[in-house]
Amino acid sequence: MAVNGEKHWVWTWQNSHLTFIACTDNRGFKTIEQYFPEGLPNSIIGNDRYAAHFKCQAKQHQTCMAHLLRDLKYIIEFYENNCDWATQMKELILQAINLKAVLTTPDYYGPNEKRYDLEKMIAMVLQNKIDEVHRKAKTLQKSLRKHQQNILTFLWHADVPADNNGSERAIRNIKIKQKISGQFKTEKGANGFTVVRSIIDTVIKSGQNEMEALTLIAKLGAE
């Protein structure tokens, strides 16, 4: 996103109850430190495998399955369906997502044979030898090995989604704003917009009326 002609990034942290959006000129861990200097030690954080995300102290992390599937699809198409590793990994991720859809609350807290089998098979596939000509697949495999414990976190917690679609939706309005106006003229204006958007999205999640909530905030601010 452009702010007065300079590149900025929109960050969002959200769950089923709250949304917090911020705009900064930094894409790295510096931004996380700025807003959460102590990390989020009681949270499970869904992310897109950026190093800065994994540096944030958290209870656990969850790799976004939607982004992972896109990466695997790209590799499969790039090598013209001739990369068995990517095909196998994609199938296992789809099985995990399908399993999530049918799990009941008790399934998360007791032994689960299907979950165990998926963890075992993914661990095996991550150790499989990949042909040297499939360099992109080897790079992805190396990344996933490093954060293997964050692949199936969502199968252990009922309220942890398999993807970051909620966060994608949280920044959709900012993307629309950007397409219409092109950019924000000042950093203060961009920050003001993200604050208002954070409030509106949080109010919507709580089932309240957005206009009434904003009116109340304006009145309290004036007082």
Most distant CA pair in the chain, distance = 68
Asked if 121 contacts 99 with a C-beta cutoff of 8 angstroms, the reply is no
pLDDT number for residue 173:
77
| pLDDT over threshold 60, residue 117 | yes
| pLDDT over threshold 60, residue 223 | no
Is residue 11 within a helix (H) or strand (E), and if so which, with residue range?
A: strand 9-14
pLDDT number for residue 4:
63
| pLDDT over threshold 80, residue 160 | yes
- CA–CA distance, 68 with 153 (Å, rounded to integer): 14
Pair of tokens at residue 27: 């894409």
Q: What is the pLDDT of residues 23-82, one digit of tens each?
A: 899 889 999 999 999 999 999 999 988 889 999 999 999 999 999 999 999 999 999 999
Q: Which is more confident, 110 or 101? A: 101
pLDDT number for residue 95:
98
